[in-house]
Each structure stands twice: as structure tokens, then as C-alpha cells.
Amino acid sequence: MADDPQRNFRSAYYEKVGFRGVEEKKSLEILLKDNPLGILPPHRDSHTLVGSYRKEQYEDILEALEVMRYINSSTPSTLVYLRMFQLESQVLPRCSETSPPDEENKDFLCISRAMEEIVDDPFDCYWLIKYFISQFQTKFGDSIPHLPKSLEHYLSQEEPRLLSHLKNSGSLAQLPYNLWFKRCFAGCLPESSLQRVWDKVISGSCRILVFVALEILLSYKIILLGISRPEGVVNFLCNIPQENTDAIVTKAIDLWHKYCGTPLHSM
């Protein structure tokens, strides 16, 4: 496992912020050196101390939300993480103005649920959610709206017949882009496959999301060609079979290399 560059995006993060004494992965060295969130001290000797500060900060935020009655012992953990993130981002709504989650908050909750499947400890889980979402929004927020067009382009290269079918049936405009590109396949792929995709995103490329979506379409093209209604296409793609996803991600990475070379910071 230690030599597998496709897995365990958590390791480098834990090592850098002092959460765990684990081996860091080279795929994250450039990103972490850039320190996009300002969370890393300049000297490695300070990492353990910073880890203890993060723990105290986490507990202080929890206590504040409990005192303000935003959360209690029965609040779902993913909603707790959302309120913590909102408080730290200074966008926490008034208690009297809380409403059902909007689409952006639903994306956060979905990624949080997926992260909970990967990380056991709530403290580690929250910091990884915060790090992942903040970095994703900061680096790729402007690129996400353009990913559907990129998908259409690459699909025209790989399987123009399927592209024509999706266009003619009215399905292309209704593909689950939110699930694929804003939630980074959280809720679509199982943990083992999802980690490999998130490794690439954290390493500096959101274009990998396009190629995972492309390979899903290619892998199930026979089924999709037999579905004539957009809602049928969307329903299938939102509930793809789970047993073949590792192979899909492997083929998606091959496509990524085919079209982009060996990128570290591709779009």
C-alpha cells in the first residue's frame, strides 16, 4: 500500500499537519508545498504542536455551536461538519433563519458522507472535509462550469454515436453533472474507487473528473444506447453498478494520460 501512488490521499495530509505519523505520498508534495490554506507551519518540528492547536480549535467550534443551539447530541455528524464549516467561513445563518440545505450545502453534505466512509475519527474527518472542499472551490471553482463541454468534446472523439444518441434524446443536457463535477463522484463511486479519483483532484487536476465521467459513459454505452428517455439515462447514471468501478477508474486514468500526458496541475 505504501508504494501505491493511486491510493490513500489522507496520508500526506496527516503527516503534514501532525495528525498521524504516516508516510507521505509524492503525489501531494507540490500541492502541500504551496500551502493554499495557510495551515502548514514552515518547520516540521512545529507540526505536532499545530496538530494539538487544530484539536483545540475543533473542540472550541463544537462547543460554540452547542452553546448557540445549532447542534446537539442527536444532530447528524455531516450536519455538524456543515455548521462548523459555515461558522469558520463566517456564513453561519441565524438559528431562526435555518432552512433545508440548498444545492451547495447538499454538495458539502454528500462529500462529508463519503469522507466518513474513508475516515473513522470525526476530528480527522472534519479537517479533511474542510481542506478538500476549500481547496477544490479555490482552485477549480472557475473551471467546473466548463467541464460538461470538455466531456462532450472527448466523447465526440471516443464514441460519436453515443454522443449523437444523448443529444438526440435530450439526455446530454441532463446528465448528472452536479454529482460528477461538484460532488466529485461522492455518492456515485464506492470508497476504494473514490479515493483514487480524489487523489488526482487533490494533486492538482479536476480534469480527471471529466475522464471518469467519460469512462462511465463508455463502459455502459450499450445500456445507454438502449434508453430513449432522459430521466432513464439520468436514473441509471446516478445508480451505476458498484462492482466494476475500480476498472472504470483505471481506464479513466489511462484516458487522462492519453489526452493530457502525465499532468500534475491540469486545469
Average pLDDT over residues 191-201: 93
46 phi/psi in degrees, rounded to 5: -90, -10
- Angstrom distances, CA of residue 203 to CA of 33, 185, 267: 11, 16, 11
Cell of 16: 503534514
For the segment 150-169, the average pLDDT, to the nearest whole number, is: 98
**pLDDT mean over 191-206:** 91
pLDDT band at residue 47 using 50, 70 and 90 as cut-offs: low
Give yes or no for residue 176 having a pLDDT over 70: yes
Report pLDDT digits (tens) over 51-85.
Answer: 788 889 999 999 999 999 999 999 999 999 999 99
The three cell numbers of residue 19 are: 495528525
Q: Give the three-state DSSP class for 49.
A: helix
Q: Which fold has domain 1-139?
A: Helicase, Ruva Protein; domain 3 (1.10.8)
Per-residue pLDDT at 203: 85
Lowest mean pLDDT of 92-96, 155-159, 203-207, 260-264, name the range: 260-264
pLDDT attached to residue 43: 59
The region of weakest confidence among 42-46, 181-185, 187-191, 218-222 is: 42-46
C-alpha 148, offset from chain centre: 17
Does residue 166 have a pLDDT over 90? yes
Quick check: 218 and 156 in contact, CB under 8 A? no
Kindly give, in sequence order, each residue whose CB lies less than 8 Å from that of residue 83, ignoring residues fewer than 6 positions away.
65, 70, 71, 75, 92
Mean pLDDT of 177-181: 97
Over residues 214-238, mean pLDDT: 98
Q: How far apart are CA 256 and CA 212, in angstroms?
A: 9
Type of residue found at 45: D
Instruction: Give the C-alpha separation, 134 to 11, whole Å.
Output: 18
The helix (run of H) or strand (run of E) holding residue 196 is helix 191-203
User: What pLDDT is attached to residue 26?
Assistant: 39
pLDDT at 142: 95
Q: How far is CA 24 from CA 7, 131, 185, in A?
A: 11, 16, 24
pLDDT score for 2 = 36
CATH number for the domain running over 141-267: 1.10.472.80
Q: Which three cell numbers stand for residue 192?
A: 476504494
Give buried/exposed letters for 69-96 (b at 16+ CB in 10 A, else e).
Answer: ebbeeeeeebbbbbbbbbbeeeebeeee
Query: At 203, phi and psi to the nearest 5?
Result: -70, -15
Tens of pLDDT, residue by residue over 94-139, are 887 777 888 899 999 999 999 999 988 999 899 999 989 999 999 9
| Domain locations along the chain | 1-139, 141-267
- Over residues 167-195, mean pLDDT: 96
